Chain A
């Protein structure tokens, strides 16, 4: 806002005096005033009293046109000098205030660092899945491909082609859930696969050697008690080529077990029976709970997991039976191979110390979040 200038004559000397007095007054007061400010807003407010739009210095400058022209130059210089002084003092006070504030903060009550972090809350994979991927990685690094197959399959793929004799108690080893009636005859009978060996048959029917495949998946058996779940997970592995030997089966499984448990575990191979392998066996791994390979007899004796034996059964395996090769149209004279299968549930329970298989399928979020 501008006001019309006052007449130059008559009040000129007075204006110059007023200006000079004003400058002297400001010069005497502004430092104390700025120094009194205790925070930034009050500092700014005080600063505005001198150099703001309605401030004292601004008001004085409006007197300039009334000042006799002979004095204007000198007074102008003085005003500018004072303005610079005020600004500098203001900047100085501002810096001092900031420093004081920072020092106060550095000396303030510390943060409560025990308050919870702001979590990004990633979810967790199921322990069976974690084990599954770990196994796939290990076998993948050994050169095995991954395959899968349907959960409901033909009796043929689950039993007949694997060399289970009809009406033989070997089928009792795997109490089966049927989908269609058994009486329809083996070829039309469908069932929930009792093992992932169905994938071995399917892949061998589909592909030619050399083959190195692992196949994880859900399998089903009519068992439901403290140690059995009617649905569980297996991984099947098999390798078919010319001149594959039992020695190599031992080699693959030994490498696998050492990588899985990340320890110098030993394996113990015991003969056993599965219709689709011969020689067939079961494999025990040295107990990872009492670290049986370190041969601390007292620790092993007290171990509840291996019951003092130092061994834990982890899988079944063997050389693929010539009958299986014939059933899938492979030349049993030319090719040999090995196969193995293990429960992912069991591995997960061993690896993560899961005490009860039911925990794996109950899906209590509090359990699942623990991995």
Chain B
């Protein structure tokens, strides 16, 4: 909401600096997000009177205009098509002025004639959107030749950009903001008395019982006397039949008011109107349309003007649309409606989508003579549904869906009729219509002072409380020592219970004045679930124990990415995604991590060593999909060495990260199993370079090189290694392992023997080591592979392996004889089980 400082000052009577007002509003919950100062750069612009116009000697499209600027006459060259005749007033930028756009006005030779100044358009002065011609002042506009434009025409303002929360529809107009301002400055808001058609016919609540109301009132003869300044009432009888209003849907249209202004002439608005609208970010269109917009911005209540001649049958019917009914809205779009939409119709068909947008057919235009002004209260939820369904968010729907003031209908109509007549030169028919099909009662609420003190932690004086409640418009029903009862104002649909009033008092009192107290937090009996603590342990283990860096990728991905990554495509789709790229929930962390690696490596081919702990999603049978936390890691690119790199990251790096993470979690080692079914289980992995991961006998994940086709499809230039673990399973395995227990250090020395052998490729080293350990029996403390070699001196298809075998008897010092005997069994086993050829 853009708000004019000048206007707020006029309405509220508060005369304070703009910055102070901005701070006050922000402090009261009406956040001023921006302050824009208008009218700078207009210092050298004055009102000037045209004294004569003659053609340019050399240029057809230019004219020489003699103007009087209060001090003397100057001749300026002007190309605008709308230079007025002698006596017309224009705006002259004098020599030496610098316009808001940065243009410096100096003597300029234009086609051989020196121009001493410039006649300006709205756009050149930054005071409007009209660039077609220069500003020509009309009879409504003040200013004598030589007057500074900023002063004479008040072309200086400060605009507040206010970020309104949706609970404050009352502040969507300047009157509401002025009410707040008056309260904040301890004043009483006094709005100028409405200059209005004197008699509006009240229709009783009997209509409520009768259901949808049908109503026809002749527009009666005007009472004696003038209604407002420069407004004449006319007898409608002279111009034809009466106008009839019928509400058929009291639920969605509780109240509908109408007024008539006859005999208007469409034309441009005076400069003050155009400037005010410009400040508020609204384009000036014509006096008739501008009048309705100005009332909107003043009262925050949308009104609509129909060209009465185009209202067929001189009849307004408010009814639900038929399913599939069509109408063209003002924006020239043919809309298809449903039975949940409310229409304003004339005698033959729809003329407006109620509360959202008017129709093209009944729009006010250049030839409009008589105007029917609509001011209604529509059900906020209904307007919102229609507005959303049509994708039409308008100034009107924005206000109606938040809730306008139902009891303001007459005042707003009166104001609109008066202004329209004033700007359009017409006359108001004093008898309007105010059809009430359903009355909307503002509730009464009790505020208990003690309860407020308990909730806020501060005692607010009851007198202050009363002043605030009255200041926002409440009517005090009962003011006792312990509590105050009020009827909330109809312009505050957000106030319905005590808490609402406490907030009102607190925000005006000032949150900053509420003292700060040391909190007391009583422990709850449940505490933090173990799983949440485990998440943290796991992340820290991956970073500190395995040197992995954490990624956080989007939980929604492209369906194509799931397919390309060869992970499950049984995904949970979004109903309203932002784009195809993020339209389903991920079923695996692989696509996101691969993308992260690819993005980085496209920029710079660095080493990527990432992990992520995130949720994957799958459709479920219950109300909600299945969410499963997963831990995954991905390596790609060079393996960092001490100086330079040390080859490319491979499977064993991936395995090392797994081991490092697990070691940091609880000193246990994973079992990696080659599984012939890996292609079905994890088709995203290389079929010959992948394994299942088990812990404590339970399958918890997979590890392997990413299938080269997957890397290719997802744009990664390098080989990648990927592993994933089910977090819940990992947590259970960790828990089953328990806390690592201290072990006494051995008291007797170990004896180390080496065994070296050549075996055929294909025997898993792990199996050989297991067999050797079994063969050695209890004396074998551990076996370490210390060399693995293929190449010269080793036959093709074979591999040379060398192990340290550490023997120890925890109870005694080992003798050579015992060790030799055990070691011999190892050799024999290797030869027998693996056809190993032992090497000396």
A116 touches B627 (CB 8 A): no
B540 / chain A contacts, CB cutoff of 8 Å: 125
Q: Which of A185-236 contact B (CB under 8 A)?
A: 188, 190, 192, 207, 210-213, 218, 220, 222, 224, 230-231
Q: Which of B84-92, B506-514, B780-788, B803-811 contacts A (4 or more CB under 8 A)?
A: B506-514
Q: Which residue on chain B has the smallest CB distance to residue A145?
A: B528
**Interface flags, B282-293, vs A, CB<8A=1, else 0:** 000000000000
Give the distance in Å from the alpha carbon of A176 to the alpha carbon of B636 in the complex. 36
A142 / chain B contacts, CB cutoff of 8 Å: 519, 521
Give the distance in Å from the alpha carbon of A231 to the alpha carbon of B556 in the complex. 9
B506 touches A123 (CB 8 A): no
Instruction: Give the distance to chain B from A2, nearest Cβ to Cβ, in Å.
Output: 30
A107: Cβ under 8 A from any B Cβ: no
Give the distance in Å from the alpha carbon of A365 to the alpha carbon of B582 in the complex. 22
A150: Cβ under 8 A from any B Cβ: yes
Query: Given known contacts A270-B31, A365-B606, is B511 in contact with A224 (CB within 8 Å)?
Result: no
A224 touches B578 (CB 8 A): yes
Q: Which of B134-168 contact A (CB under 8 A)?
A: 165-168
B519 / chain A contacts, CB cutoff of 8 Å: 142, 239, 248, 251-252, 255
Give the distance in Å from the alpha carbon of A272 to the alpha carbon of B162 in the complex. 12
A279 / chain B contacts, CB cutoff of 8 Å: 456, 499, 502-503, 506-507, 511
B585 / chain A contacts, CB cutoff of 8 Å: 152
B551: Cβ under 8 A from any A Cβ: yes
B500: Cβ under 8 A from any A Cβ: yes
Instruction: Give the distance to chain B from A264, nearest Cβ to Cβ, in Å.
Output: 14
Q: Which of B296-304, B468-476, B617-625 contacts A (4 or more CB under 8 A)?
A: B617-625
Instruction: Give the distance to chain A from B689, nearest Cβ to Cβ, in Å.
Output: 23
B603: Cβ under 8 A from any A Cβ: yes
B539 touches A129 (CB 8 A): yes
B555 touches A218 (CB 8 A): yes
* Interface secondary structure of A, over-half rule: mixed
B570: Cβ under 8 A from any A Cβ: no
A188 / chain B contacts, CB cutoff of 8 Å: 623
A11: Cβ under 8 A from any B Cβ: no
A46: Cβ under 8 A from any B Cβ: no
The residue in A188, A247, A360 that gathers the most chain B C-beta atoms within 10 A of its C-beta is: A247
- Of the candidates B28, B548, B624, B643, which one forms a contact with A150 in the assembled complex, judged by CB atoms under 8 Å apart? B624
B275: Cβ under 8 A from any A Cβ: no
**Interface flags, B584-628, vs A, CB<8A=1, else 0:** 010000001001110110011011111100010100000111010
A341: Cβ under 8 A from any B Cβ: no
Give the distance in Å from the alpha carbon of A363 to the alpha carbon of B511 in the complex. 40
B385 / chain A contacts, CB cutoff of 8 Å: 167
B542: Cβ under 8 A from any A Cβ: yes
Q: Which residue on chain A has the smallest CB distance to residue B524?
A: A211
A124 touches B516 (CB 8 A): no
Instruction: Give the distance to chain A from B551, nearest Cβ to Cβ, in Å.
Output: 4
B517 / chain A contacts, CB cutoff of 8 Å: 245, 247-248, 250-251
Instruction: Give the distance to chain B from A163, nearest Cβ to Cβ, in Å.
Output: 10
B608 touches A172 (CB 8 A): no
A160: Cβ under 8 A from any B Cβ: no
Query: Given known contacts A152-B625, A167-B384, A230-B578, is B549 in contact with A143 (CB within 8 Å)?
Result: no
Instruction: Give the distance to chain B from A50, nearest Cβ to Cβ, in Å.
Output: 35
B503 touches A363 (CB 8 A): no
B543 / chain A contacts, CB cutoff of 8 Å: 122-125
A169: Cβ under 8 A from any B Cβ: yes
A319 / chain B contacts, CB cutoff of 8 Å: 455, 499
Q: Which residue on chain B has the smallest CB distance to residue A252?
A: B519
- Of the candidates B536, B553, B574, B600, which one forms a contact with A365 in the assembled complex, judged by CB atoms under 8 Å apart? B600
A168 touches B380 (CB 8 A): yes
Give the distance in Å from the alpha carbon of A368 to the alpha carbon of B610 in the complex. 9
B536 touches A133 (CB 8 A): yes
A125 touches B526 (CB 8 A): no
Give the distance in Å from the alpha carbon of A120 to the alpha carbon of B540 in the complex. 15
Give the distance in Å from the alpha carbon of A180 to the alpha carbon of B167 in the complex. 28
Q: How many residues of B contact A (CB 8 A)?
A: 96
B549 / chain A contacts, CB cutoff of 8 Å: 123-124, 365, 368-369
Instruction: Give the distance to chain B from A340, nearest Cβ to Cβ, in Å.
Output: 12
Instruction: Give the distance to chain B from A249, nearest Cβ to Cβ, in Å.
Output: 8
B547 touches A122 (CB 8 A): yes
A336 touches B454 (CB 8 A): yes
Instruction: Give the distance to chain B from A298, nearest Cβ to Cβ, in Å.
Output: 18
The residue in A116, A153, A363, A369 that gathers the most chain B C-beta atoms within 10 A of its C-beta is: A363
Give the distance in Å from the alpha carbon of A255 to the alpha carbon of B384 in the complex. 42
B554: Cβ under 8 A from any A Cβ: yes
Query: Given known contacts A145-B526, A231-B556, is B550 in contact with A154 (CB within 8 Å)?
Result: no
B739: Cβ under 8 A from any A Cβ: no
A268: Cβ under 8 A from any B Cβ: yes
B610 / chain A contacts, CB cutoff of 8 Å: 363, 365, 368
A167 / chain B contacts, CB cutoff of 8 Å: 380-381, 384-385, 401
Give the distance in Å from the alpha carbon of A77 to the alpha carbon of B609 in the complex. 74
Q: Which of B299-348 contact A (CB under 8 A)?
A: none
B511 / chain A contacts, CB cutoff of 8 Å: 246, 250, 269-271, 279, 281
A145 / chain B contacts, CB cutoff of 8 Å: 524, 526-528
A121 / chain B contacts, CB cutoff of 8 Å: 547, 640
A192 / chain B contacts, CB cutoff of 8 Å: 574
B555 / chain A contacts, CB cutoff of 8 Å: 151, 218, 220, 231
Give the distance in Å from the alpha carbon of A247 to the alpha carbon of B453 in the complex. 10
B458 / chain A contacts, CB cutoff of 8 Å: 246-247
B743: Cβ under 8 A from any A Cβ: no
Instruction: Give the distance to chain B from A77, nearest Cβ to Cβ, in Å.
Output: 41
**Interface flags, B541-568, vs A, CB<8A=1, else 0:** 0111011111111111000000000000
B29 / chain A contacts, CB cutoff of 8 Å: 270-273, 281
Instruction: Give the distance to chain B from A158, nearest Cβ to Cβ, in Å.
Output: 12
Q: Which residue on chain A has the smallest CB distance to residue B387?
A: A169
A178: Cβ under 8 A from any B Cβ: yes
B506 / chain A contacts, CB cutoff of 8 Å: 246, 271, 279
A363 / chain B contacts, CB cutoff of 8 Å: 551-553, 592, 595-596, 599-600, 610
B600 touches A118 (CB 8 A): no
Give the distance in Å from the alpha carbon of A275 to the alpha carbon of B577 in the complex. 26
A361: Cβ under 8 A from any B Cβ: yes
A262: Cβ under 8 A from any B Cβ: no
B574 touches A126 (CB 8 A): no
Q: Which of A332-366 contact B (CB under 8 A)?
A: 336, 360-366
B100: Cβ under 8 A from any A Cβ: no
A190 touches B623 (CB 8 A): yes
The residue in A168, A182, A268 that gathers the most chain B C-beta atoms within 10 A of its C-beta is: A168
A15: Cβ under 8 A from any B Cβ: no
Q: Which residue on chain A has the smallest CB distance to residue B503?
A: A279
B31 touches A154 (CB 8 A): no
Give the distance in Å from the alpha carbon of A268 to the alpha carbon of B29 in the complex. 12
Query: Given known contacts A222-B576, A271-B503, A271-B507, is B384 in contact with A168 (CB within 8 Å)?
Result: yes
Instruction: Give the distance to chain B from A322, nearest Cβ to Cβ, in Å.
Output: 5
B627 touches A151 (CB 8 A): yes
A278 touches B499 (CB 8 A): yes
Query: Given known contacts A121-B640, A168-B384, A247-B457, is B552 in contact with A173 (CB within 8 Å)?
Result: no
A147 touches B503 (CB 8 A): no
What are the 6 closest A-B residue pairs judged by CB atoms, nearest first?
Answer: A247-B457, A271-B29, A245-B457, A143-B521, A273-B165, A363-B596
Taking A180-B575, A278-B503 as given, write out 12 further A-B residue pairs in contact, using a Cβ cutoff of 8 Å, ordered by the A residue number: A123-B543, A125-B543, A125-B550, A148-B532, A169-B402, A207-B526, A212-B521, A250-B511, A250-B516, A254-B516, A270-B511, A271-B27
- Which residues of B does A touch, CB under 8 Å? 26-29, 31, 165-168, 380-381, 384-385, 398, 401-402, 454-458, 497, 499-500, 502-503, 506-507, 511-512, 514-524, 526-529, 532-533, 536, 539-540, 542-544, 546-556, 572-578, 582, 585, 592, 595-597, 599-600, 603-604, 606-611, 615, 617, 623-625, 627, 640, 642-643
10 A-B pairs with C-beta separation under 8 A = A152-B625, A172-B166, A179-B574, A181-B575, A210-B524, A213-B524, A220-B556, A251-B518, A279-B507, A364-B603
